């Protein structure tokens, strides 16, 4: 292979040595015996050679795969009746496996294209989809201390890019209702399960009683047709979200998610901004024939779900919001995608990161982009200095598994439209100042001595799963 560029990392010997960082996707490490540490080009005998893990992504026998050696899905892999589902909406006989759409200029090995999951395909099915309520945009629910909210998970009809699907929604809304409460509020949620899966609601990020946390460890699933009463206490300010914790690879991906905005009792909890925008990020896997089915008995693509090829911001494939020139917007970002990590920017507009899942940072920081993994939340301030369109962009690196090569992917998820009208109050000075959060610093100071002391225990954790290849 052609070795270019060749970068001298430094001198090594016995023991542990610190070298320059390697900023390459694929690389080969060469260690040679030299007469002097000052040589610029390798001349001595090669002692050791090693390559990055990314250079080993090709199958062990590419020729075997290219010839199409492999197997398809058995006719009845589980020995079950694949024609008679438990109920009409549990994947009827018309639900069949379809191949996920491939990105342009990428191909898969023929044998891989022949593979099918060894479980039944699932999509929610009803005899008359037109009879279902049409999913509508989320509403903001202002809840006071002691209020009771009725929340129902049910079937809806949803159009995405001209295709109509049967999906799920909380109170017929995608995303689910935005719950806006003051810090310290306690509310009761009467949750009714009207979908075909046992499910529950996990109140992600909230500190509350175990019995109301909505996970299989602490609560039995709510069966179809049943109701469960949650008592929710909003102890901490910030942005949170709610979603299922039973087969979330299906139920969350089909629309069961929503946000909670807890307003701080401190007026200066965040720095100045003209307005707030709650932004939820999601993706759906859609082919020419419709939604790619899920695995009925177990997840099929990965432990957390699968990547989608259609991006949704606040449930919309073409999200837009309008602001005035010079406006500072506080964005509350939530990644509700099952497995996708985003790398977000706002078309060159300056971004200041303020906080994340657990509250404010000790000090605000300037960033060029925001990397947000599944279930994470971030709070950022963005100033839009000029009129025009500022795209919300996801810039990542894709991977061609066949040829073990990386490539750039850039997707526009939505747009911020900036008018020529100037904002009334100029917050430029405040925005350009990196603010420190005193209460956060004081709270962390109590634990700061623990950061540098020796650890007491080292834990080794093992994970086992069924249905997917061992990892």
C-alpha to C-alpha distance for 370 and 378, rounded to whole angstroms: 8
pLDDT for 312-327, tens place per residue? Answer: 999 999 999 999 999 9
Quick: pLDDT tens for 239-271. 999 999 999 999 999 999 999 999 999 999 999
Q: Above 80 in pLDDT, residue 93? A: no
Q: What is the dihedral of CA 319, 323, 325, 330, to 10 degrees?
A: -90
* Residue 107: C-alpha distances to residues 97, 401, 467 (Å): 19, 9, 25
pLDDT confidence tier of residue 78, bands split at 50, 70 and 90:
very low
| Token output for 123 | 């999509």
Instruction: Specify the residue for token string 């299922």.
Output: 244
**Whole-angstrom distance, CA of residue 392 vs CA of residue 382:** 11
Distance set, CA 455 to CA 443, 450, 452, 459 (Å): 21, 9, 9, 11
Domains of the chain: residue spans and CATH: 1-56 (no CATH), 275-445 (2.60.40.420)
C-alpha 291/C-alpha 303 separation (Å) is: 19
Average pLDDT over residues 30-53: 86
Q: H or E element: which one contains 439?
A: helix 438-445
Q: Average pLDDT of the chain?
A: 89
How far from the centroid of its chain's Cα atoms is residue 173's Cα? 20
Q: And the tokens for 412?
A: 């526009």
| Residue whose token pair is 């100045």 | 272
DSSP for residue 56: G
Which of 194, 305, 204, 210 lies closest to 259, judged by CA? 204
Rounded Cα distance between 358 and 235, Å, is: 12
pLDDT digits (tens, 9 = 90+) for 202-221: 999 999 999 999 999 999 99
Handedness of CA 175, 176, 180, 184 (dihedral sign): negative
The predicted structure's pLDDT at residue 24? 80
ω into 175 cis (within 30 of 0): yes
In order, the DSSP letters of 77-103 are TTSS-SSS-SSTTB--TT----PPPPP
């Amino acid at each position: 292979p052609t070795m270019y560029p060749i970068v001298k990392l430094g001198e090594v010997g016995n023991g542990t040595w610190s070298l320059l960082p390697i900023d390459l996707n694929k690389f080969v490490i060469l260690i040679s015996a030299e007469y002097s540490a000052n040589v610029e080009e390798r001349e001595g005998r090669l002692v050791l050679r090693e390559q990055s893990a990314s250079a080993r992504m090709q199958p062990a026998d590419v020729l075997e795969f290219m010839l199409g050696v492999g197997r398809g899905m058995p006719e009845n892999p589980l020995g079950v009746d694949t024609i008679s589902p438990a109920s009409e909406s549990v994947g009827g006989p018309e639900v069949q496996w379809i191949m996920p759409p491939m990105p342009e200029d990428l191909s898969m090995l023929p044998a891989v294209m022949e593979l099918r999951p060894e479980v039944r395909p699932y999509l929610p099915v009803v005899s008359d989809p037109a009879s279902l309520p049409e999913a509508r945009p989320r509403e903001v629910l202002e809840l006071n201390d002691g209020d009771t909210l009725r929340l129902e998970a049910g079937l809806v009809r949803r159009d995405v890019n001209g295709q109509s699907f049967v999906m799920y929604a909380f109170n017929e809304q995608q995303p689910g209702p935005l719950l806006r409460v003051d810090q310290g509020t306690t509310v009761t949620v009467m949750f009714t399960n009207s979908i075909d899966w046992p499910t529950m609601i996990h109140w992600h990020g909230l500190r509350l009683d175990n019995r109301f946390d909505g996970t299989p460890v602490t609560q039995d699933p709510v069966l179809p047709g049943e109701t469960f009463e949650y008592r929710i206490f909003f102890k901490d300010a910030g942005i949170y979200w709610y979603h299922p914790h039973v087969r979330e690879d299906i139920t969350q991906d089909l629309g069961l998610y929503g946000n909670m905005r807890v307003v701080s009792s401190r007026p200066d909890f965040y720095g100045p901004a003209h307005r707030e925008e709650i932004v939820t990020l999601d993706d759906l896997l859609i082919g020419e024939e419709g939604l790619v089915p899920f695995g009925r008995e177990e997840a099929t693509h990965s432990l957390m779900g699968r990547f989608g090829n259609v991006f949704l911001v606040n449930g919309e494939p073409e999200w837009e919001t309008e602001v005035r020139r010079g406006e500072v917007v506080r964005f509350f970002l939530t990644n509700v995608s099952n497995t996708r990590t985003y790398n977000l920017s706002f078309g060159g507009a300056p971004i200041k990161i303020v906080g994340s899942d657990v509250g404010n940072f000790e000090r605000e920081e300037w960033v060029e982009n925001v990397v947000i993994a599944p279930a994470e939340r971030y709070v950022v301030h963005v100033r839009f200095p000029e009129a025009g369109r500022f795209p919300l962009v996801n810039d990542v690196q894709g991977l061609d598994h066949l040829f073990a090569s990386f490539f750039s992917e850039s997707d526009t998820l939505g747009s911020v439209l900036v008018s020529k009208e100037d904002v009334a109050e100029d917050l430029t000075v405040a925005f350009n100042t990196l603010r420190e959060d005193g209460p956060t610093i004081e709270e962390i100071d109590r634990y700061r001595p623990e950061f540098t002391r020796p650890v007491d225990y080292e834990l080794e954790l093992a994970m086992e799963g069924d249905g997917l290849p061992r990892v």
